[in-house]
């Protein structure tokens, strides 16, 4: 099915580029053309055109014929995978609510320093339907739940694995890199050549000014895609033997050449380096949270009311064990244990508050993506924290490998017809 896909994807990029030069009538006819069929769902040329516009906007790449040709093939591949993810979520009865979608959109706007209305206006100005961004975010949220439901329960990291990883790290030193990645899937051995070519096109786009993190957000299949490909600070000693020498040689800010791994073809970017000692952002903390929910477009009065409720309930949180009980009592369903995580993975204002907390204490009310958050510090750092850090890294690797396999199997069993001939 895919042996002609390379030529087809390049034709798609040319077609999408040429669409801009056509008249309104001809453009409308092209827009309604079917680009691909994925099981029961249809992808149109207009779908791909608007998604490509979104990718160019998000990455900061110039809207040129060359840039569209570089990114067009991967946009179609990503759109097909996204369709499979949404279909699997529907099969499992997983639903992303409008409220969740709205909150996620508000988060996108906030990260770009604008209101939701400003974001929507920017999309309209660039010829991008709001539903294009909504579909992408809905697929991300739905797939995260598929992975949580179907994969995470089967992931087990033994104490022996953690001990071995810790011993290996101690032998090799503590140097760390601030690492990002883009992962492109290889579903069949005969596809490896074309995926490597796709990766080289993405690397060329980065070298020509496209934002690596934004590209990861748009085209990567890794679990890190939602975080712009950010893997955080990673010890070189903890990297796979086949990857570590590549990362060791990378200059800061320069993307790697494509790297074939068990997870697919990966592109790495080292954003910074350090010795790995003495940085408070490395600290691992165990948290629980109580969230007073708020809509993304909450009014000032709604926000003040939620803040008052949080202040009123805060004295009752004498430690982490109280969080779930109080949450059930007041009806705060997004509350509960967050487990162990690095301070660096928290929003900056959250991390600043948690950094100075004694164990058992609770932060002041903080405005966050779900509403007003109260964070309780259950535990921090130490030998146990270091073991938990390594455990999380090993679990993340397993989840990523199994999620890629899951998506590959969906591809294998799907009916996929490319119509752009």
Quote the Cα angle for 148-154-159, to 5°.
Answer: 115
Domain enclosing residue 58, as ranges: 5-152+412-418
Average pLDDT along the chain: 83
For every residue of 142-185, DSSP letters joined together read: HHHHHHHHHTGGG----HHHHHHHHHHHHHH---EEEEEEEEE-
pLDDT of residue 130: 92
In this prediction, what percent of the chain has a pLDDT beyond 90?
Answer: 29
Query: What is the rounded CA–CA span in Å between residue 331 and residue 339?
Result: 21
CA neighbor of 309 nearest in space, from 352, 373, 354, 363: 373
For residue 376, is it within any domain? yes
Query: What is the rounded CA–CA span in Å between residue 76 and residue 100?
Result: 26
Query: What is the rounded CA–CA span in Å between residue 6 and residue 52?
Result: 17
For residue 397, is it within any domain? no
pLDDT of residue 231: 85
Find tokens 């949270």 and name the residue: 289
Looking at residue 50, which CATH number applies to its domain? 1.10.4030.10
The per-residue pLDDT for range 35-59, each reduced to its tens digit, is: 889 999 999 988 988 999 998 888 8
pLDDT over 70 at 4, yes or no: no
pLDDT over 70 at 197, yes or no: yes
For residue 277, is it within any domain? no
Query: What is the rounded CA–CA span in Å between residue 130 and residue 124?
Result: 7
pLDDT over 50 at 25, yes or no: no
pLDDT of residue 1: 37
Query: What is the rounded CA–CA span in Å between residue 107 and residue 113?
Result: 10
The number of folded domains in the chain is: 2
For residue 15, is it within any domain? yes
For the ranges 51-60, 141-150, 162-171, 266-275, the lowest mean pLDDT is seen at 162-171
For residue 265, is it within any domain? no
Helix (H) or strand (E) holding 355: helix 348-355
pLDDT of residue 9: 44
pLDDT of residue 169: 65
Looking at the whole model, is its pTM more than 0.75?
Answer: no
The pLDDT of 8-29, averaged and rounded, is: 45
For residue 190, is it within any domain? no
Find tokens 């990766």 and name the residue: 199
pLDDT of residue 384: 67
Find tokens 């769902």 and name the residue: 41
The per-residue pLDDT for range 290-345, each reduced to its tens digit, is: 999 887 778 889 889 999 999 999 999 987 888 988 888 888 888 888 888 878 77
Query: What is the rounded CA–CA span in Å between residue 401 and residue 347?
Result: 27
For residue 309, is it within any domain? yes
Q: Could you give the maximum distance between any two Cα atoms of the chain, in Å?
A: 67
pLDDT of residue 385: 67
First-to-last C-alpha distance (Å) of the chain:
13
pLDDT of residue 380: 79
The per-residue pLDDT for range 218-276, each reduced to its tens digit, is: 888 887 887 888 888 788 877 888 888 999 999 999 999 999 987 789 999 999 988 75
pLDDT over 60 at 186, yes or no: yes
- Bridge partners (DSSP) of residue 273 are 177
pLDDT of residue 421: 56
The DSSP letter of residue 379 is E
Looking at residue 346, which CATH number applies to its domain? 3.10.50.40
CA neighbor of 31 nearest in space, from 14, 52, 15, 55: 15
For the ranges 91-95, 178-182, 236-240, the lowest mean pLDDT is seen at 236-240
pLDDT of residue 5: 41
For residue 197, is it within any domain? no
Query: What is the rounded CA–CA span in Å between residue 408 and residue 405?
Result: 5
């Amino acid at each position: 099915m895919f042996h002609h896909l390379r030529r087809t994807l390049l034709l798609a990029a040319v077609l999408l580029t040429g669409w801009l030069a056509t008249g309104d009538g001809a453009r409308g006819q092209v827009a309604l053309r079917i680009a691909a069929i994925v099981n029961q769902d249809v992808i149109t040329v207009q779908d791909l055109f608007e998604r490509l516009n979104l990718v160019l906007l998000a990455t900061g790449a110039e809207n040129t014929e060359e840039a569209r040709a570089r990114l067009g093939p991967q946009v179609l591949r990503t759109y097909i995978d996204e369709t499979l993810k949404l279909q699997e979520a529907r099969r499992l009865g997983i639903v992303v609510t409008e409220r969740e979608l709205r909150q996620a959109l508000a988060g996108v706007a906030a990260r770009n320093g604008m209101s939701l209305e400003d974001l929507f206006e920017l999309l309209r100005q660039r010829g991008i339907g709001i539903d294009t961004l909504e579909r992408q975010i809905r697929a991300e949220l739905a797939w995260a739940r598929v992975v949580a439901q179907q994969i995470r329960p089967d992931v087990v990291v033994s104490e022996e694995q953690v001990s071995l990883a810790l011993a290996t790290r101690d032998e090799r030193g503590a140097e760390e890199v601030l690492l990002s990645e883009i992962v492109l899937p290889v579903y069949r051995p005969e596809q490896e050549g074309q995926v490597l070519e796709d990766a080289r096109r993405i690397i060329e786009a980065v070298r020509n000014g496209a934002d690596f993190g934004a590209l990861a957000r748009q085209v990567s299949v890794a679990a890190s895609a939602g975080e712009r490909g950010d893997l955080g600070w990673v010890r070189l000693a903890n990297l796979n033997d086949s990857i570590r020498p590549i990362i060791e040689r990378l200059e800061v800010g320069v993307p790697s050449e494509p790297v074939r791994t068990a997870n697919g073809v990966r592109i790495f970017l080292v954003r910074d380096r350090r010795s790995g000692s003495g940085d408070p952002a490395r600290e691992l903390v165990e948290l629980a949270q109580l969230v007073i929910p708020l809509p993304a477009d909450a009014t000032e009065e709604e926000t003040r009311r939620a803040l008052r409720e949080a202040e009123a309930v805060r004295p009752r949180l004498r430690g982490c064990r109280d969080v779930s009980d109080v949450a059930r009592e007041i009806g705060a369903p997004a509350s509960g244990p967050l487990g162990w995580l690095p301070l660096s993975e928290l929003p900056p204002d959250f991390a600043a508050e948690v950094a100075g907390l004694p164990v058992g204490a609770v932060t002041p009310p903080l405005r966050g993506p779900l509403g007003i958050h109260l964070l309780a510090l259950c535990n921090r750092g130490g030998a146990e924290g270091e073991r938990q850090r390594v455990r999380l890294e090993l679990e993340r690797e397993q989840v990523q490998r199994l999620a890629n396999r899951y998506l590959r199997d969906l591809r294998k069993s799907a009916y996929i017809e490319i119509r752009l001939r």
